[in-house]
Structure 1
Amino acid sequence: MSPQAKGVLAAIGACMIWGLSPIFYKQVSHVPAIEVLAHRTVWSLVFFGGVLALQGRLGQVLAAVNTRRKLATVGLASLMIGTNWFLFIWAVAAGRTTESSLGYYILPLVAVVIGRVIFGEAMMRSQWVAVALATGAVVLLTVGLQAPPWIALTLALSFGLYALIKKRLDIGPVVSVTAEVLLMLPIAVFVLLQSEHTGGSAFHAGAWTMGVLLISGPVTALPLILFSYAARRVRMTSLGLVQYLNPTLQFSCAVFVFKEPFTLWHMIAFGLIWLALAIYAASMFAQDRASRKAAVAAAASGTGMM
């Protein structure tokens, strides 16, 4: 099997774990979301720390925060991913997985806007159309449900900003996430101690609940490792398209497994989002094709000059 094929399979595996994770977190919906987040932080740190220890790279975690600027950057990334994780866990427990899937559908378009605003990246006309359709979908859903889809918007913005911050970190994904959860550890320990003090700790909720919480570490770490593997072997266009598997599976869990309400307003809004993503995907293919043609032309020109 070629490295490209292995990368695609790794990306599919990562997105399937992410997409089916609502079923996993639904198993602990009786535990407060903040406590689930605390357990996820602790057991993720244990798992990531074990992986890095086996690789002899634990020292890189301390190097990632050994200056004030690095510490501030990692701290901000930690805040964004912590917010994202907490809100996703809460949304699943609250029966609002449909809205969380919407957030991950609009995330690529939010990333495009962030790239335009922060880095001045050029946007094709088709990408502007996709962003306009997504904006229209959000406005329509706000009017129809008489409330803004704040869960979707917060999830998309928090992860979009997280990705922006990560661009400024010159360290690998496993090391950076380990540093991020390490900074979250004091709050996680405080939450767990407080829950134990009040007598409502999940440590006393039974073997099944504790088993799920313990596995939250590998469930967090494994897709990240798979996706990191894929990112080094797969073209960004292919990787971007595979990522749509995540919200599609989340959406399927919400509507077909959890039987969450899916109104006419949802149908219209999601239809607009899917149309926007189709246009965006087509623009990605066009950009990728143009860049490859330019690379081939440049190579041919260089060969001709020799």
Structure 2
Amino acid sequence: MSTNADHRAGLWVAIASFVLWGLMPLYWHLLKAVPSLQIVAHRVLWSTLLVVAWLLWKNGRGWLRAALARPRAAWMLGLSGLLIGFNWSLYIWAVNAGHVVESSLGYFINPLLNVVLGVAFLRERLSRAQWIAVALATAGVLWLTTRFGQPPWIAISLALSFALYGLLRKLLAIDAVTGLGVESVYLFLPALAVLVWGESHGQGGFLPLEGAPGWGLGLDALLVIGGALTALPLIGFAFAVRRVPLSVVGLLQYIAPTLQFLTGVFVFHEAFDQDRLIGFVFIWIGLAVFALDGALRARRQSAAPAAVAAGKA
């Protein structure tokens, strides 16, 4: 049973994790001089070393064998690794190509897309409020599509890849950090190959030989630290969800796309006109309905045991 101190610690760690995720566009923007594929490869390389070191320290040398011994784990984590690798690649490219606002839209849509996948693949049933939330978000996406002549494909691709990733991880039901460790192991060699190829073909600049052009020690350090910034929020998230109700975590998750959106508009000065505002408002109202419904459901579920106990007294 978690104590009040555990709950407070989990709450603050969850907030810190979502704030860090929300401010990541500022960090990736510092690496704008580095090609996006190189950033992703370094992100995989250094986060793999950190996560694997953590798992070796925590679970010993048999952690990988134990993880892959689960039924379906090998192929499902391989597929989820491809999805998260695609998500990271598209996100970093979008940030450094000036699409932070649209990227934030993807993570606003994501929770609603999760419930749609739950209906499609897990035979879950939606409440009337959840259907209204999904309809409002769909209306927002359709509005943006008709006003700008094409769907917000960056947002949809980010939301869909992350939702499918979450579905696979839900079906497998493996610890978040262990799952990330296996996925990272799968991605490690391709990432290393990308880095070696880039260095040998003049597209890299990490710790170059004397006289060769490079990105400089400052950017090299940022690339290494980027691996830690990939792993630490997820480790913090895994710590928090064991100590904080999921309904609370579900509300806190909107911190990240909100900060991304504010960064895109007020720091990077990306376009956000009235047409975009209308589309976002539909989606924000849908999210408000979804979040309120979730909070009311959680309150009813927590009140039910108390009512039963009172009836028995």
- TM bracket (short chain): over 0.9
What is the deviation of 1:184? 0.6
**TM-score (norm. length: structure 1):** 0.95
What does residue 232 of structure 1 align with?
A: 242
What is the deviation of 1:206? 0.9
- 1:12 aligned onto 2:15: yes
- After superposition, the Cα gap between the structure-2 partners of 1:54 and 1:14, relative to the gap in structure 1 and judged at 3 Å, is same
What does residue 124 of structure 1 align with?
A: 127
Give every structure 1 segment of 4 or more consecutive aligned residues whose post-TM-superposition deviation is greater than 6 Å. none
Q: Equivalent of 1:159, from 159, 162, 174?
A: 162
What does residue 65 of structure 1 align with?
A: 68
- 1:198 aligned onto 2:207: no
- Root mean square deviation, CA, Å: 1.4
What does residue 107 of structure 1 align with?
A: 110
Q: Which segments of 5 or more consecutive residues in structure 2 lack a partner in the other structure?
A: 207-213
Matched letter for residue 230 of structure 1: A
Matched letter for residue 88 of structure 1: Y
- 1:258 aligned onto 2:268: yes
Match runs of 1:1-306 below 5 Å: 2-66=5-69, 69-203=72-206, 204-301=214-311, 303-304=312-313
1:173 and 1:266 map into 2 onto residues whose CA distance is 35
Matched letter for residue 171 of structure 2: R
What is the deviation of 1:205? 1.2
What is the deviation of 1:213? 0.5
Q: How many residues align?
A: 303
1:278 and 1:55 map into 2 onto residues whose CA distance is 39
Give per-residue Cα distances to partners, 1:72-104, cap 9 Å, x unaligned.
011011011111111110100100010100000
Identity of aligned residues (%): 41
2:174 and 2:267 map into 1 onto residues whose CA distance is 38
What is the deviation of 1:128? 0.6
- Secondary structure of 2:62's aligned partner: helix
Contact 2:25 2:263 in 1 (8 A): yes
Contact 1:74 1:179 in 2 (8 A): yes
Contact 1:202 1:209 in 2 (8 A): no
Q: Which segments of 5 or more consecutive residues in structure 1 lack a partner in the other structure?
A: none
What is the deviation of 1:275? 0.8
**TM-score (norm. length: structure 2):** 0.93
